[in-house]
Chains A and B, each alone.
Chain A
Amino acid sequence: MIKIKYYLIILITLISVKISFGQNEHNWGQINGDFQLDAMYFLNDSSINAYQPKEKFGNNAYLSIFYSNKNISAGLRFESYLPALVGYDPQTKGIGIAHRYIAYQSNNNNLKIKAGHIYDQFGLGLALRTYEDRSLGIDNAIDGIEISYQMKDYFIIKGLIGTQKFFWGNTGNYIRGVDGEINVNKLNEKWAEGRWNFSLGTSFVSKYEEDKDPLYKLPENIGIWAIRYQLSSPFMLWNTEIAFKSQDPSKVNNYIYRKGNGAHTDITFFGNNWGIYLAAHRMDNFDFRMLRNESGIRSIINYIPALTQPQNYILVKNYPYASQAIGEWAFSGQGNFTIPKNTTFGGNYGTQIQINYSRMHNIDHKQINDTTPVMASGTDGYNSEFFKIDKTVFFESADFIIDKRMSKNLKLNFLYNYTVYNSDVIEGHSDGTFYIHCGVLDLNYKLNKKNSIKVQLAHEYKEQHDKNWLGGLVEFAISSKWFISLQDEYNYGNPNKDDRQHFYLTGISYVQNATRISVSYGKVKEGITCVGGVCKWTPAYFGIGINISTTF
């Protein structure tokens, strides 16, 4: 409780500071920010393998303050993990300023200079993506200097140099990157008037990491070069990026010396009542991180665009896919259609239909010679034919979603999902592949202007592992301020009777303007949490949680 009081005092102080700035006659610039506290008191429940840690109370707290005045802006974020919540890297433990920067931009916005912690992305991210995601506990900011310059209105170039943030310190290795993009249309007046837009970009990112290993001869300067284009018009958008990586033996690739490459393309067509998205990519030995001996989400530099649809429904969301930078062939398609109202299937309000499909395979691997096994460390690892797809399926998912308003007050969503989930590859376990069928019915009923109720029912059928599940969720929204929810996921089909557990979670939230305060109590099963194909493992936990968030 002392900790919570401490954060509330900080919050109130900051809101006061904001008010005093606003009231002053002098133009001292603008200050704004946000605050978030996620705290939990952990309890023991050995039946679901949820164990109370030695430090029973965990908390993640973030307080960001951003200041801007004319051409100058600055920001800092204070973070506290005393200790971090279960599932976060134990090395996050600590308290202090985790993010700070100062930036300048010229009056015409052509020149931008930033020093400190930098978040940026080159193209689709195959060469570089630095960002923060609190749900994953990822913050791979570059601590350095970035300069970007826009030449006329058709060319922009940016360059950065620094090291990478690593928990409360940095990796100590250097990273440098340059990115340029030309908007081809604007080179010529005639082209600029057309309905098509075409831009070309290229980037190069390299890192330096000293070779201190007595067993291997390691490259110290490792780089990725990427080229990309974007073609767009009022009815389509097409993105492609291809990247090549130099030799990069690391823990993730078992110290092989094969060069890496990655290629991604996605195209979207859209009309009045429909949209179609198609995407494919191939990653081949394409894991790139600042520290060659790290794995998981630690010290990553680049990003593999996710080709699976994020799932929000109960049960279905328990099987996300983790992108396999080390090697994958991925395909994805999505179609959205609206059946017009006042037709047989459209009813009075129209019906929306969405179909998603994605499938991920391993890439082809061949031995480099008859005597060396595939992926043998200290060798070139393997040979691979680009267009040959290995039979091993990592993941497959098909969704059929109907979104229909039945009356003025009742809205109904139905989802059927089929997933093939290779847990050995995705989670690193040895539970094999699961073939999952899941159906979800989601009802939203408006009781009156301010109150509504949401009911979700789900059933998961599979023959493997822990077998069948049943899920339910009820949520009341009262006066648009109070939200009360109760959900349960019940593993009724578990072959082991002792493991037929309920994972219930109940919560109450209060929302006032930009502030949300919520209290929850319940159990969460172990599993992976993914955002955009980047995942972390979270063990099962049971406890009482408090969450506070606000912006000012």
Chain B
Amino acid sequence: MKKILGLIFLVIIALYGCDKVEPPYTQQNTNTDTTINNKVKRVLIEEFTGHLCPNCPEASHIAENLQQLYPGKITIIAIHSGNFANLVSPNYMTDFRTEEGNILNTSFGVSTYPSGMVDRVQLLGSQLISPNEWGSIVNDRLSEQLIVNISITTQYNELNRNFNCTINTDILSPFDSPLMLVALLTEDSIIDYQKNNNPLYGTTPDIPHYVHNHVLRGSITNIWGDTICTNCITNDSYVKTYNYTLSNEWNEDNVNIVVYCYDAETQEIKQVIEQRIR
């Protein structure tokens, strides 16, 4: 009987082996390095979303929290696609979908919203990752060694809404898979309706003046990109120049160019950069 009581005692002791977290439960932002150093690894979050998706404002909030936690190191692309991006009258008639977004949605087999990809890395066999997991992967990815550096120079002509961009890629470490370069456009600060089911992020079930940020608008290159090099050697540099005319429906002051390089074999994104076109 003593043995039994001893074992029960051990079980109770084990209970106290659980961690207890005291408030505040969120990490305080201690990151004071807000300088944007060109030669650090940055991370891309591709967020699959839709204006009819009631859980999506929460996911956007998570992504933007990460942007605040790591200033200048996180780029977000909000890809409106799937059934939640359909048009429904009278309030949901703005079409945020793009051909490129639909291709990505189908190619990566997105079936639940919100979901997303962080540098397109796999977690437990899947590239599609739920928003609450983005943070831990971002954390891992930021400590990755940078193998390619990207820089952009743009020239925007206000009269014809045309811009030229020159993209420089510098190989920092040898790389034996083909390296692809993709250039896309996103738009911030579009005010429109959004479904919502969480009062923490706005009114429910609709937010009439929701601020849609990072909305994928189109691609300058093909959505799968242009090949930079197939056997990349340290210190090699490549220059690509592109020309693009903005749609009249976009606010030129809020349009960003997003450029990323990815490994054609693993699809992992090696570096991303984002800047306003003007």
Contacts and interface: CB of A to CB of B under 8 A. Distances in A.
Given A91-B126, A212-B139, A293 B132 contact: yes
B194 to A, nearest CB: 15
Contact of B19 (A178, A222, A295): A222
Contacts of B18: 206, 219, 221-223, 246-247
Interface in A159-218: 166-169, 171, 178, 180, 182, 187, 202-204, 206, 212-218
The secondary structure that dominates the A interface is: loop
A335 interface: no
Contacts, number: 122
Interface stretch (A134-142, A350-358, A372-380): A372-380
Interface in B70-105: 70
Contact of B200 (A91, A220, A376, A380): A376
A221 B16 CA distance: 10
A251 B126 CA distance: 17
Interface in A211-242: 212-223, 225
Contact of B20 (A155, A246, A377, A378): A246
Given A247-B19, A249-B25, A180 B125 contact: no
A203 B129 CA distance: 33
A441 interface: no
Contacts of B126: 91
A249 B135 CA distance: 14
Contacts of A291: 124
A260 to B, nearest CB: 12
A225 B130 CA distance: 29
Looking at A202, A293, A294, the one whose CB has the most chain B CB atoms below 10 A away is A293
Contacts of B70: 214
A235 B65 CA distance: 60
Given A206-B14, A206-B18, A214-B136, A166 B25 contact: no
A178 B10 CA distance: 10
B158 interface: no
A178 B125 contact: no
A167 B19 contact: no
A518 B32 CA distance: 67
B7 A180 contact: yes
Contacts of B229: none
Interface in B133-175: 133, 135-136, 138-140
A219 B19 contact: yes
B231 interface: no
A167 B17 contact: no
A180 B11 contact: yes
A308 B70 CA distance: 48
A243 to B, nearest CB: 11
Contact of B25 (A223, A257, A292, A294): A257
Given A180-B11, A223-B15, A155 B4 contact: yes
B266 interface: no
A373 B11 contact: no
B248 interface: no
A151 interface: yes
A90 interface: yes
B21 interface: yes
Contact of A157 (B7, B14, B205): B7
B191 interface: no
Nearest to A295: B130
B69 interface: yes
A60 B47 CA distance: 32
B139 A182 contact: no
Given A171-B124, A251-B130, A293-B132, A215 B21 contact: no
A255 interface: yes
A180 B4 contact: yes
Interface in A271-295: 291-295
B20 A225 contact: no
A247 B21 contact: yes
A220 B19 contact: yes
Nearest to A225: B15
A168 B109 CA distance: 19
Contacts of A215: 26-27, 62, 65-66, 69, 135
A204 B140 CA distance: 32
B66 A204 contact: no
Interface string A11-27: 00000000000000000
Contacts of A221: 17-19
Looking at B11, B70, B139, the one whose CB has the most chain A CB atoms below 10 A away is B11
Contacts of A212: 135-136, 139-140
Contacts of B11: 178, 180, 202-204, 225
Nearest to B3: A151
Contacts of A222: 18-19
B124 A246 contact: no
B8 interface: yes
B21 A217 contact: yes
A372 B263 CA distance: 44
B7 A293 contact: no
Contacts of B19: 219-222, 246-247
B107 to A, nearest CB: 11
A98 to B, nearest CB: 14
Contacts of A166: 124
Interface in B39-72: 54, 62, 65-66, 69-70
A218 B21 contact: yes
Contacts of B24: 217, 378
B14 A223 contact: yes
Contacts of B66: 214-215
Contacts of A295: 130
A171 B125 CA distance: 11
Contacts of A219: 18-21
B124 A217 contact: no
8 contacts: A155-B4, A202-B8, A204-B11, A206-B17, A222-B18, A251-B132, A255-B132, A377-B200
Given A155-B4, A215-B66, A225-B11, 11 more contacts: A151-B3, A178-B10, A214-B69, A214-B135, A216-B135, A225-B15, A246-B19, A249-B25, A293-B132, A378-B24, A430-B205
Closest 6 A-B residue pairs measured CB to CB? Answer: A212-B136, A219-B19, A246-B18, A293-B133, A223-B18, A378-B26
Interface of A: 90-91, 151, 155, 157, 166-169, 171, 178, 180, 182, 187, 202-204, 206, 212-223, 225, 246-247, 249-251, 255, 257, 291-295, 373, 376-380, 430
Interface of B: 1, 3-4, 7-8, 10-12, 14-15, 17-21, 23-27, 54, 62, 65-66, 69-70, 109, 111, 124-126, 129-130, 132-133, 135-136, 138-140, 199-200, 205
